[in-house]
Amino acid sequence: MERTFAIIKPDAVTAARAGAILSRIEQAGFRVVAMRLQHLTRAQAEGFYAVHAARPFFSSLTDFMSSGPCVLLALEAPDAIKRWRALMGATDPAKADAGTLRKDFGQSIEFNATHGSDAPETAAFELGYFFRGLELR
Ligand code: CMP
């Protein structure tokens, strides 16, 4: 079993698609270990995406991520990191395969509906950034 960290981003939550995305997560066989609706502050979004601080889109990205509530998730499944990334599809919805979440719910490379950890080290950091140990049982 493996755990990964996922976000249903403000674009999808505001458009009332969080339930549809959660349903797809459950249908794909992930166990929801922890889940919370949270409107991030700008500083929380900046800390989360610190690895992208030098990118030209950092300011716009952290603006977007603090523009409305997110659904924060800890997901568990065999090979969860890779499987969640496969279910999300490519970062840019225009390049995402049919049947993926970003293809179905994303609007642009920035407003792309979902986030997922890209490696075990990132998953450990991201799960710990938002969830306390007691929530991850
Ligand atoms: P995510 O998987 O959350 O990781 C970083 C985020 O930055 C990404 O999804 C997009 O929302 C955003 N992003 C990545 N590339 C670009 C880009 N070229 N322009 C704007 N936003 C981007």
Active-site entry in 45, 114, 115, 131:
115
Listed by start position, the domains of the chain span 2-132
Q: Is 90 exceeded by the pLDDT of residue 20?
A: yes
Q: Is 90 exceeded by the pLDDT of residue 136?
A: no
Choose the residue to mutate in 65, 109, 129 for probing ligand 1, maximizing ligand atoms within 8 Å of C-beta: 109
Question: pLDDT digits over 56-76, tens only?
Answer: 999 999 999 999 999 999 999
| DSSP characters over 75-133 | EEETTHHHHHHHHH--SSGGGSPTTSHHHHH--SSSS-SEEE--SHHHHHHHHHHH--G
Task: Tell the CATH superfamily of the 2-132 domain.
Answer: Nucleoside diphosphate kinase-like domain (3.30.70.141)
Q: Is 90 exceeded by the pLDDT of residue 134?
A: no
Q: Cα(49) to centroid of ligand 1, in Å?
A: 10
Q: What is the mean pLDDT of residues 48-58?
A: 98
Q: What is the pTM of this model?
A: 0.97
Q: What percent of the chain shows pLDDT beyond 90? A: 96
